[in-house]
Structure 1
């Protein structure tokens, strides 16, 4: 375990900004390892020679102390060896990645050759798909170089098969450092398949595809969850079920990891035991099955961790030695970090290791403490999700600043269905290519089990307060860690015993009597102490009221609903709109004027990932708050106005996005795509000389009528149209285009153009006919926004008007057939 922790810390540090020091660290660790090993060997030999042949019995404790020093020295040597191995791995891989990183930093046109190593996902822009390639060669400017590293490729049409060797050309773009790809590439042409996948990978692809075909006729949750539980394919999981599973921490059901391996290994071991197979045959059968399972579900970081931990356990079984969970986990993690040090920054790998460590180290002690109260079966059932949640909580907080209060009861009820769902799903997967008629009833039975899991998730997710908002960032993580340690210390501090409850019942009255006697003594003999104590307690209570209660009461009725879908941020005289795409992600349209208002609004909404950043145009009241939005958030892609006016602000925005590693694309009418759970389409985006000469508004630069007008559809079914700062000519052109195509008629929400200026199109308002109109405007602004004419125009269409100068940040929620509003 110490060596594993050293390897992890070293991998995390050396894959960051200090990557250039990896070679120096490697040399230093090798020298230190040799020195420590030599010193330990000399000390051991000296102690043996100086030890008397017959040692009196009273000196036995000293012998124990001498022997106890040896494991410590061995731990130091092994930890230094792991540090050296990780540093050497970083140094060697960084050298191979250098050509790819350099070309990506230059934005070079290049051709990649590599192997497809991920299943496809929808593209951020357009109708294509994106997938990852493990590049082995890059050709740019007529020079071919050997390289290594992951590149995310976006290409039109169907993605190539997993495991195929392909060549693809396009412009390389850099990305932020992390566990994911080194660069992004948008294919400039068709993707050429140079070599097909191996026969084994083709077989797994056939099984995955056949399972999807067999489950196509099942209900919505079954057609999504059965492939998810069996092979980790979550492409068809309904958004409502996916969201509920996130809220209740049940995503491990479809994130294939250690639990699935345990089920597979346990089932095979039981079958081998029934067949009375010898030990060698058992090890071979489990090893082959585990390898095939990894290929079937794809070697994601969590799957690799589970596979290598399983390998360590199989090695112990083959050698006839008992397997220990903590050393097996540490050995598996260390091997993987030496092979791929960037795994130290992978959330999937971190959560997998943390959950396993929690189960290994905490589940047993917690179960023993709870057993006298609940009995052993229920104690163990409660201990498993509690231990996993305690270990994973701080890491999960970095992804979503909420604490899932319903995770333990939801997992307690849902986990028993995971075994039949996994086993039946795998059986259906094996049968699907050869006997689809037999696979269908098996998949249907698996669907009954996944139906129970989905019902549990949705029931507990709908409980008020299922997720407790928590401070984001390092301080929030530290606070949760301290709270977790305090609770565990309170639970684990007393040794378990069958008479625990009886002892408590006997001890409680005695404690109460002692407290009463002490109070009487304090009252009679130490009046000043009593007064000071009472005053201190009163002060603490008053402080708690001032710090905790008063802000909560002052904010009563102004909290953002947990299920918000659309939010118009109060950024003063400017625009910033957020459309939710996941538990902690959103599409953000504009970022308001200079300052931190937009960033604070997104923090309050719990948005840590911006799936798509849309900057309608480059006026300061729409792009000034970009720095605050980028700070502490991950931005997947940006869509900007095709007109770079004002030129200085446009250049500054593009520079800031490039520095943050955000891919940028100029919008064009008809562009479509998906962002998380939402879909979007560009309705208007006019650039060039045409817009510069028309409809410029007060600024006169044409940027207003070059605004990107966007239509979005949320997972809850709300249709949202954001109109930027389109002036009346631009709105009239948009109205004519929408009337001709029949798009965006009778929508749910419209963000009114140009803060409610008098330049509004009656034809566009009539066509959109929104149920709710959001007006983003600053209080007492000098422009007279919003005008009475603009408000009357949309009110005449039966629209409810919501103004940020009156409401503050306006959060909309789609519930049943209505739209709810929360102001604050």
Structure 2
């Protein structure tokens, strides 16, 4: 059966227009340049919509071209009005965020809290209604992601927050980010939100005594609460493409609606009443799990399907998805920049469009049931792959088999988790029993995730950025075209080894006949040429596109900032195949691969500046196959979970460990090192893990002086200034500085002037926190330092040649 794609062109045009308009139209523009460009863009997209509409109309012969023209035109006009109205309402938040201004915000909390990626505390979104800054107050509209210490406010509460504003992260879908210094709740949430909050809290209470995986996965599968998900399990689920288990989206709505439908059928509820009950159930589920972008997309798709059911018409997937995404983008155009929304729509579209064709190809080989089980995760992974590469430049090679094996446990985990949620406030003992059975289902999911994540090659490197996404999209399209272009027939029913043998025979026969068939000879030569060219492109070009590819550091490297994404790994050469390593990057093997390419087989000194995951997550991979002579770690074991894992890994590897403190010094191979901070008084829970970072000064055999600042915040940097001034250091400007905290806004201008580095290394990757900030970069540029960012330069190597520093970038430059 052919899918009805008549609404797809309009939905795609609206999405592209929303993306472009929300990126080009800014509030407070004095000239009409941005607005003019937006108008020109809208006209161009309108023309594209007409062309696409005519194409679809001609092919389908069901809708005249004028219908597509009118529909696309109305949607684009509505989108432009929505963007213009909301941009005016957002002012002056973007301008204040760009300046890093201190402000007070008033608004409503519109997301559940999540652990802060950097530092202690939580992060959550607030829908701002008023802002006070620079002595004036004004109305404003927009979502701001707030990172704050202490307990977070309740969902739906009205709060007043004192913050320092910053730019929004890539793909965040917010107007700004903010670091809070004080949070005050002025109005508690309403009765309905209080009730759903109680349900969520009681579910956490009744699951508190379960195993670690069940404590995290049962609330995650039921209501999307991942606050207690163990770090190692979270990493395993990301590596195997199982995050949809806890990211509430279409599959959860399908399960909820299906369960309600079965109950209505068993109770013989009339169709009209059945639709009402399904609508109420779906709406209640949205409030319970909170209206995140993916949840809203699934809810609107479900609403369109229910409307079709009420009208007695079959619910077609593509039109429902097109209508849902278009409506949501018209209401909130900035949702077009949300990675979560994009992944949700891509996964749904992939499942709707690709599952059927894949099932028809696989069914003759393995039966329809197994073919369907394989096709669903395969279709979702194929559609989501290009978007996922933008977030993490790697391919989850084990995602399809992991999803295939985990799928049977998702339904009982979700249904039993929801039953436990509804029972928890009224019958906690019964809810606890139900939750235990749900934990049995999630135990299988956790076991599958950990098994496949631990396999060699579970995550394969791939070029990052837009280029990598386009490359993967092209490769996926080519593979699908080859596999699906031919309708299922006798050939698909033959065993694979017979098909392979027949292909080899055809190639052999074709090569023998080349001399007798001139036309085929030409085509054969062209095919061979294309194959050779493709092989050369894959062998020569693609490795240079992959971050951290071969040939990225010269043989005489002295200092290397490894490109490990949003994390830190710095290597200082201490011998022929040895180095001093400061931090080991986020979870995964990025740091280990960097050390492998540098030829580092022995670590003379391993320094873990502090225990945030983006600095210690890659420890296991780094320790594997390498000897470590000694380690220096932060005096503050926070956050507790990654600190315990890191200390246990070092102990299991037999590494001598000492806690960093000022005046510690020594020689590691050919590198002299000395600890500058932290002081014992700053290594407290109140100061936070960032300001408990071990700060080092090192001197290489080539005479390069290096200072590493860990993730020191401004207070810690100011204490360091006092320490350095008291000890008379540095005697002259340092040559290389590793900037603190990926270039966050919390920097000390006094420290930048005191150190005045010739080169400032900024280890940073794609992130949602605006790192590095323009203020931080300008601070070091103003003292004459050359800035080297790993997100632009890739793995960055410094060497000494003819008495001067030479920089080599993996990505050129």
Q: Where do residues 27-106 of structure 1 align in structure 2 (5 Å cutoff)?
A: 68=61, 70-106=63-99
**In the aligned structure 2, how far is the partner of 1:353 from the partner of 1:569?**
41
2:9 corresponds in structure 1 to 2
SS of residue in 2 equivalent to 1:95: helix
**In the aligned structure 2, how far is the partner of 1:550 from the partner of 1:99?**
44
CA change 1:782–1:124 in 2 (3 A) is farther
2:284 corresponds in structure 1 to 292
Out of 462, 465, 469, the residue aligned to residue 457 of structure 2 is 465
CA change 1:545–1:235 in 2 (3 A) is closer
1:581 corresponds in structure 2 to 586
**In the aligned structure 1, how far is the partner of 2:230 from the partner of 2:82?**
41
Out of 298, 306, 311, the residue aligned to residue 306 of structure 1 is 298
Out of 241, 246, 249, the residue aligned to residue 233 of structure 2 is 241
Query: How far off is 1:117 after superposition?
Result: 1.0
Residues 691 and 702 of structure 1 are in contact (CA less than 8 Å); yes or no, is this contact kept in structure 2? no
Out of 262, 269, 275, the residue aligned to residue 277 of structure 1 is 269
1:699 corresponds in structure 2 to 732
Query: How far off is 1:512 after superposition?
Result: 7.0
1:406 corresponds in structure 2 to 398
Gaps of 5+ in 2: 1-7, 556-561, 592-611, 617-680, 695-709, 743-750, 755-795
Aligned length: 622
Deviations 1:763-795 (A, max 9, x none): xxxxxxxxxxxxx9976789999xxxxxxxxxx
Deviations 1:253-296 (A, max 9, x none): 00000000000000001110111111111111111111111111
**In the aligned structure 2, how far is the partner of 1:125 from the partner of 1:543?**
42
1:250 corresponds in structure 2 to 242
Residues 569 and 615 of structure 2 are in contact (CA less than 8 Å); yes or no, is this contact kept in structure 1? no
Out of 372, 386, 394, the residue aligned to residue 386 of structure 2 is 394
1:368 corresponds in structure 2 to 360
CA change 1:498–1:436 in 2 (3 A) is farther
CA change 1:543–1:688 in 2 (3 A) is closer
Using the size of structure 1 for normalisation, the TM-score is 0.65
Deviations 1:310-353 (A, max 9, x none): 01011111111111100100100011101110111100000000
Residues 124 and 673 of structure 1 are in contact (CA less than 8 Å); yes or no, is this contact kept in structure 2? no
Q: Where do residues 457-606 of structure 1 align in structure 2 (5 Å cutoff)?
A: 457-497=449-489, 500-501=492-493, 518-522=510-514, 547=540, 567-569=569-571, 577-582=582-587
Deviations 1:448-479 (A, max 9, x none): 10000010111111111111111112222122
1:212 corresponds in structure 2 to 204
Deviations 1:531-569 (A, max 9, x none): 9899979977995897499999999xx9x9999998433
SS of residue in 1 equivalent to 2:108: strand
Deviations 1:219-257 (A, max 9, x none): 110011111111111111111111111111000000000
Comparing 301-310 with 121-130, which one deviates more in the overlay?
A: 121-130
CA change 1:494–1:216 in 2 (3 A) is same
SS of residue in 2 equivalent to 1:221: helix
**In the aligned structure 1, how far is the partner of 2:568 from the partner of 2:44?**
57
Out of 13, 22, 33, the residue aligned to residue 20 of structure 2 is 13
**In the aligned structure 2, how far is the partner of 1:129 from the partner of 1:412?**
34
Query: How far off is 1:180 after superposition?
Result: 3.4
Q: Where do residues 45-444 of structure 1 align in structure 2 (5 Å cutoff)?
A: 68=61, 70-123=63-116, 127-175=120-168, 178-189=171-182, 191-444=183-436
**In the aligned structure 2, how far is the partner of 1:532 from the partner of 1:37?**
41
SS of residue in 2 equivalent to 1:699: coil
**In the aligned structure 1, how far is the partner of 2:243 from the partner of 2:81?**
35
Query: How far off is 1:168 after superposition?
Result: 2.2
Query: How far off is 1:371 after superposition?
Result: 1.1
Residues 167 and 175 of structure 2 are in contact (CA less than 8 Å); yes or no, is this contact kept in structure 1? yes
Using the size of structure 2 for normalisation, the TM-score is 0.66
**In the aligned structure 1, how far is the partner of 2:740 from the partner of 2:535?**
52
**In the aligned structure 1, how far is the partner of 2:87 from the partner of 2:370?**
50
Query: How far off is 1:175 after superposition?
Result: 3.5
Residues 121 and 148 of structure 2 are in contact (CA less than 8 Å); yes or no, is this contact kept in structure 1? yes
CA change 1:8–1:578 in 2 (3 A) is farther
SS of residue in 1 equivalent to 2:24: coil
Deviations 1:422-448 (A, max 9, x none): 000000111111111001110000001
Query: How far off is 1:509 after superposition?
Result: 8.6
Query: How far off is 1:170 after superposition?
Result: 3.6
Query: How far off is 1:111 after superposition?
Result: 2.4
